A and B are shown apart, each in its own frame.
Chain A
Amino acid sequence: METIIELREIRKTYRMGDIVVPVLRDVSLTVARGEMVALMGTSGSGKSTLMNILGCLDRPDSGVYRLDGEEMSRLSADQRAMVRNRKLGFVFQSFNLLPRTSALDNVALPLTYTAGHLSEREARRRAAEMLGRVGLEDRMDHEPSRLSGGQQQRVAIARALINQPPLLLADEPTGNLDSRTSEEVLAIFQELNHKEGITVIMVTHDANVARYAQQVIHIHDGMIVERTSGQAGFHAEEAT
């Protein structure tokens, strides 16, 4: 199976004054295209840092990170911004939608930074299409304050998908949602993963959420301690 993510001996340390805190210690990891992976770990385990590195928001101190076959750890800030725009979709725990901005405009936001080709109408059409895909075609002109948490997160997912990235990164996507809407959101992830072959990586500390993943990677003290198949993976394998 084709690999989309390849991490080799990723190391990251933070300095707080004189104290050097190692956050990631020689993390090596491969994720195949089309997989749905959950990153689990307690707070302070380094899973957020790993997520930031995967999301090209941060650079490792040493090690190799290949995304889609390209080396990421040596790119400049502007080049990484371009990669984030084209190849990655982010979903955050706190949604991070622009206040007082319609759902449609929120979804179209990444297109602002696409050095591109899209006319205004085309951009709106695509944003509307993405909203339709997450089931919010009737909420396009609503501002975030008039949407429920689950709806807001679905807008955020639509935003993450607008540039059709191969990889979706979700940082505690259900952390601010109740269990019912959590299921809805996770169902969307699963559907995207199954139907469109988008690779999904979720950070979570909730085992119930991790259940939806095919693979669960446990991180502890900056190291990968365990890699297990999630139930979804089990089901998927069973199905094939």
Chain B
Amino acid sequence: MSLGLKAYRTFRTALKALRRNPLRAILTTLGIVIGVAAVIAMMEIGAGSSAAIQKSISSMGANVLSVRPGAASSGGVTFGSGSTTTLTPEDCEAILRECPAVRAAVPLVHTRAQVVYGSRNWVPTFIYGSTPAYLDVQNWTVTEGAPFTDRDVANANKVCILGQTLVRELFQGESSIDKEIRIRNVSFRVVGVLRSKGANMMGMDQDDIIVAPWTTIKYRVTGEALADTNQSTSSSSGSTVNTLSNLYPGGQSDLYPDRSDVQAADNPMPVRFANIDHILAAARSTKEIPAAIDQMTLVLRERHRIRAGEADDFSIRDMTQMTTALSSTTTMMTNLLLSVAMISLVVGGVGIMNIMLVSVTERTREIGLRMAVGARGKDILQQFMVEAVVLCLVGGALGILLGHGGSQLVRLLLHWPVETSPVAIAAAVLVSASVGMIFGFYPAWKASRLDPIEALRYE
């Protein structure tokens, strides 16, 4: 007999045997149906939620890379990150132009100053100067009014957008649009209000913010436009914290090599160039963060004329904390679902084994008869194994339909995000077949070991 025909016959025998007691077959397989349905539904809903969580975490700025200038050091005293002034707006443009993994890049200058409106005043945590693309990098939107424009940046117009906290503190419920506020005696017109964002991961209020064109902040508010100004030595507050650097010669090499007079005459270099405090860049996706870092490093080293072997005069940081949180959330979610899946399938498998054992006992005479008419032990083993596997596969198929239907129902009624997962379906089929084999084996083995004489005599 060909193998196919034999397989067909065994399969048909199993189906017939199951059809003889349909109610029991259904009850038996119910455990698997529910188990697989739960797995599929959980996987689909879980995958949907996981994707949604990933999306919301990345909207918190998980893809944001921050470029800061290196630390200045003078006479053994290091002034900390951001104390040299090596980043320029042109660096930012170059990054945007030359790094394919970077979606957006904006320059950033910041200061700390008192903001005054009418009789009220407030010192916001952040006063940022940037470009309109800042909102895109931070996944932020304006709820009222409109963001300032690139033209505002080019003209250093005195416009700004406010965070919710400032609106609350300065305007106390009034509309802030088109009102004039003063930052260090420079008058700014409010053009927009930012959506509320709450605290960041450090617990800082992100809504306590003013964003204005960086040129305005740079040239009109802080007034530090000169390239050779060391931020740490002449801080905006005019304090004398780092006067030591005046006493001792600076430890760092000059930003640009000395040039001869001829060189200078041939290729005049702007004496003034604007420096910015840091650059914010957004990678195209979480996966492309390492590529973006590499590309940015390359571009900046070239632009800053740093030779091979020399240390970077800047540092690039990613939001490691967030990306870790992101991946650990996903992993935990998957593991949780997997353990739930395992438990429900084992329960289903035990149900199968239980009923198969009952079935073997009940069908003892049938087994005896089959042996009397020529069934070998392995024929009986095969028959009961196939029955168990068919039960599990049918249960698995029903479970897939039920689970998928359930998750679609959840999507339609509760509007939860759902993602169909072909992997889960394949796994469910595979697992239900293996459950059938594992838990069907013992009853089938028991059946195959029956003595035909005893079995025929069994009442």
Which residues of A line the B interface, CB within 8 A?
52, 55, 57-58, 77-78, 81-82, 84-86, 90, 92, 96, 98-101, 105, 109-110, 112-120, 159, 163
Is B16 an interface position by the 8 A CB rule? yes
Is B376 an interface position by the 8 A CB rule? yes
Q: Which of A58, A81, A98, A117 contacts B375 (CB 8 A)?
A: A81
Is B421 an interface position by the 8 A CB rule? no
Question: In the bound complex, how far is the Cα of B455 from the Cα of A90, in angstroms?
Answer: 15
Question: In the bound complex, how far is the Cα of B16 from the Cα of A112, in angstroms?
Answer: 13
Chain A hits for B371, CB < 8 A: 57, 81, 84
Contact call A112/B376, Cβ cutoff below 8 A: no
Contact call A55/B372, Cβ cutoff below 8 A: yes
Contact call B453/A112, Cβ cutoff below 8 A: no
Interface segment among B85-93, B335-343, B362-370: the answer is B362-370
Contact call A77/B376, Cβ cutoff below 8 A: yes
Chain B hits for A115, CB < 8 A: 1
Q: Which of B21, B365, B373 contacts A110 (CB 8 A)?
A: B373
Contact call A109/B456, Cβ cutoff below 8 A: no
Chain A hits for B456, CB < 8 A: 57, 92, 96
Question: In the bound complex, how far is the Cα of B365 from the Cα of A78, in angstroms?
Answer: 19
Is B250 an interface position by the 8 A CB rule? no
Question: In the bound complex, how far is the Cα of B366 from the Cα of A105, in angstroms?
Answer: 14
Pairs across A and B, CB under 8 Å, 10 listed: A55-B372, A57-B453, A78-B377, A81-B371, A82-B376, A98-B366, A101-B16, A109-B370, A115-B1, A159-B373
Q: Which of B20, B376, B453 contacts A101 (CB 8 A)?
A: B20
Closest 5 CB pairs of A and B: A85-B374, A113-B374, A110-B373, A100-B20, A81-B376
Chain A hits for B377, CB < 8 A: 77-78
- B10-28, CB < 8 A from A: 13, 16, 19-21
- B349-396, CB < 8 A from A: 365-366, 368-379
Contact call B374/A86, Cβ cutoff below 8 A: yes
Contact call A52/B453, Cβ cutoff below 8 A: yes
Chain B hits for A109, CB < 8 A: 369-370, 373
Contact call A112/B372, Cβ cutoff below 8 A: no
Interface residues on B, range: 20 to 34
Question: In the bound complex, how far is the Cα of B452 from the Cα of A159, in angstroms?
Answer: 18
Chain A hits for B368, CB < 8 A: 96
Closest CB of chain A to B61's CB: distance in Å? 67
Closest CB of chain B to A72's CB: distance in Å? 15
Chain A hits for B373, CB < 8 A: 84-85, 90, 109-110, 113, 159
Since A86-B374, A96-B456 are in contact, a sample of 9 more A-B pairs with Cβ atoms closer than 8 Å, ordered by chain A residue number, is A57-B372, A77-B376, A77-B377, A78-B377, A81-B371, A82-B374, A112-B379, A113-B374, A117-B1
Chain B hits for A86, CB < 8 A: 374
Q: Which of B9, B366, B369, B453 contacts A58 (CB 8 A)?
A: B453
Question: In the bound complex, how far is the Cα of B365 from the Cα of A55, in angstroms?
Answer: 17
Residue of A nearest to B375 (CB): A113
Question: In the bound complex, how far is the Cα of B373 from the Cα of A90, in angstroms?
Answer: 7
Contact call B453/A113, Cβ cutoff below 8 A: no
Question: In the bound complex, how far is the Cα of B370 from the Cα of A84, in angstroms?
Answer: 10
Residue of B nearest to A118 (CB): B1
Chain A hits for B453, CB < 8 A: 52, 57-58
Closest CB of chain B to A46's CB: distance in Å? 14
Closest CB of chain B to A205's CB: distance in Å? 17
Quick one: given A52-B453, A101-B16, are A114 and B369 in contact (CB under 8 Å)? Answer: no
Contact call A114/B366, Cβ cutoff below 8 A: no
Question: In the bound complex, how far is the Cα of B375 from the Cα of A109, in angstroms?
Answer: 10
Closest CB of chain A to B50's CB: distance in Å? 48
Closest CB of chain A to B366's CB: distance in Å? 6
Contact call A78/B376, Cβ cutoff below 8 A: yes
Closest CB of chain B to A150's CB: distance in Å? 19
Contact call B374/A84, Cβ cutoff below 8 A: yes
Most A CB within 10 A of own CB, among B19, B366, B452: B452
Chain B hits for A101, CB < 8 A: 16, 20
Q: Which of A58, A96, A100 contacts B365 (CB 8 A)?
A: A96
Chain B hits for A81, CB < 8 A: 371, 374-376, 379
Question: In the bound complex, how far is the Cα of B374 from the Cα of A82, in angstroms?
Answer: 6
Question: In the bound complex, how far is the Cα of B365 from the Cα of A58, in angstroms?
Answer: 17
Most A CB within 10 A of own CB, among B1, B16, B19, B374: B374
- B315-343, CB < 8 A from A: none
